[in-house]
């Protein structure tokens, strides 16, 4: 079963009409089983009489100067099939021109964009300036266009999820944002569209990233955040192929860690491929 395709705002509006609940899953295409899980969750929540929309759009405004927008995989036929099998009714796959018109994407200084605030300047925001401004802007556009009751996002992109929830609260957008736990490969690596760019050797090394955050989460419960970060760094120190950007323990809202619930987040590169991962944890001991 293949989901219905809409490529323009007008086609989306015509296909969307429903009196039942609407759930949306936003993607940049190149769908995998992690996306399928998001679609499954959306279908379960809205029920048989509801509508599940998948957005399939590679957003140029969230790519930095050193990131290859043109290289990002585009697999629309595959995405339509996976979406339909997973339970989606409709895939909205607009062009860049449909979403942004004729603006100069190389110079967005005169455009209205969503400011992510200070939360958008740390972790991924520090390494990828402008990324979260572009992400929140396109998410706000897509929320407006699809007009869902529920929106589903993977916890793998945890900072993104936190920022989307903050934007929805701040701008009073009438949608419930639901985070879905990360889907992993059999060896523990978080599923990602970027995994396909790893060489065989890099792919074998990459499993050290989930191992490091697992170790950090275990240590956090006993000895606190600082000890957890040191333990995670120690795991990755044995893998010189991995260029660590950060491995940190934070509060669930990405603030300073305190006793109780927390989050371990990591980002690293293998060759030219940047991977991110995270796990919830409990911070005990030394805090």
Cβ neighbours around 245 below 10 Å, total: 17
Geometric angle at alpha carbon 173, from 30 and 278, rounded to 5°: 45
* Cβ contact 243:270 at 8 Å: yes
3-state SS assignment for residue 242: strand
| Distance separating alpha carbons of residues 13 and 276, to the nearest angstrom | 35
Contacts of 98 (CB under 8 A, 6+ apart): 7, 8, 9
- Respond yes or no: is residue 201 known to be catalytic: no
3-state SS assignment for residue 151: strand
Catalytic site residue from 35, 40, 131, 239? 35
Question: Can you read off the two tokens belonging to residue 192?
Answer: 């990602």
Sheet holding 273-283, edge to edge: 242-250, 260-270, 273-283
Do the strands 273-283 and 242-250 form a parallel or antiparallel pair, or are they unpaired? unpaired
Sign of CA dihedral 121, 123, 124, 129: positive
Residues with catalytic annotation?
Answer: 35
């Amino acid at each position: 079963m293949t989901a219905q395709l809409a490529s323009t705002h007008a086609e989306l509006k015509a296909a969307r009409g429903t009196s039942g609940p609407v759930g949306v899953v936003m993607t940049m295409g190149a769908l995998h089983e992690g996306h399928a899980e998001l679609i499954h969750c959306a279908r379960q929540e809205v029920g048989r009489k509801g509508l599940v929309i998948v957005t399939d759009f590679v957003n140029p405004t969230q790519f930095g100067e050193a990131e290859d927008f043109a290289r990002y995989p585009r697999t629309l036929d595959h995405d339509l099939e996976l979406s339909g099998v997973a339970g989606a009714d409709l895939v909205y796959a607009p062009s860049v021109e449909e979403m942004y018109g004729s603006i100069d994407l190389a110079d967005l200084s005169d455009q209205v964009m969503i400011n992510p605030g200070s939360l958008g300047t740390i972790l991924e925001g520090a390494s990828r300036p402008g990324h979260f401004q572009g992400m929140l802007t396109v998410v706000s556009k897509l929320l407006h266009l699809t007009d869902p009751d529920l929106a589903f996002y993977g916890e793998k992109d945890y900072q993104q999820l936190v920022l989307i929830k903050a934007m929805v609260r701040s701008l009073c957008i009438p949608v419930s944002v639901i985070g879905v736990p990360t889907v992993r490969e059999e060896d523990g690596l978080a599923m990602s569209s970027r995994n396909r760019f790893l060489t065989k050797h890099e792919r074998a090394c990459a499993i050290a990233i989930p191992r490091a955050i697992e170790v950090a989460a275990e240590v956090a419960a006993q000895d606190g955040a600082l000890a957890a970060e040191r333990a995670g760094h120690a795991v990755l120190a044995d893998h010189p192929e991995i260029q660590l950007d950060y491995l940190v323990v934070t509060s669930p809202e990405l603030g300073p860690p305190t006793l109780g619930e927390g989050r371990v987040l990591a980002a690293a590169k293998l060759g030219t491929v940047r991977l991110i991962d995270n796990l919830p944890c409990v911070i005990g001991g030394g805090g």
